Amino acid sequence: MGEQIEVKADGADRYDTLRELVKNTNKEKPRAEDLVALRRFFDDVPEVWHSTGNMATRTLDHLIRTYYQQSAYVRECVSRRVEELREQLGYQESPTLERILIEQILVCWVNLYVLEINSATKLCESHSKETGLYWDRRLTGAQRRFRRASECLARIRKLSRNVPTLQFNIAALGGQQLNVAK
């Protein structure tokens, strides 16, 4: 009790340290010194909290694991497609706001097509009018969220790429004109 947990140098030791910190802090009232140790670990190894704290990635992983739990093949294919789309949308070169929007687009894209599959499956079965309307509303909402996220990224990119050129005309005495562009 009260022992200090040190952040160790190599990957295996870091994993053991992190596992111990998670065990010690994953409770309703963790000890203050365990929380301090966890925060110190995050300061020393920020890639841990970066990956775990990325809610878009966690959401994507959850969607893929949940909807494709029966097929490692499909999970891997969808995961690779998501990564390909992320790259095609220019995630690595994008500023923070655009990255957030790209992540939102990817979450909406996976959710949309999961709902497309579910909707098509349900609508091929015998169903009530209420069931048809339910799936139609869910699908329409997912399409709307995907469209809005995509439009928002396009708007942000258009605004950030179109920095206007300002031109001032300064008339000098004697009838000469000087144009200054910025």
Q: What pLDDT score does 166 carry? A: 57
CA–CA gap between residue 148 and residue 108 (Å, rounded) = 10
Q: What pLDDT score does 68 carry? A: 87
pLDDT per residue of the chain (182 residues) written in tens, 0 to 9: 445 555 545 667 888 999 999 999 999 999 999 999 999 999 999 998 988 888 998 999 999 999 888 899 999 999 999 999 999 999 999 999 999 999 999 999 999 999 999 888 887 888 888 888 898 999 999 999 999 999 999 999 999 887 665 555 555 555 555 555 54
- The two tokens of residue 171 are 């008339």
Q: Tell how far CA 132 is from the center of its chain.
A: 31
Q: Hey, where are the domains in the chain? A: 11-52, 55-161
Greatest Cα pair distance, the chain, in angstroms, is 87
Q: What pLDDT score does 176 carry? A: 59
Q: What pLDDT score does 12 carry? A: 78
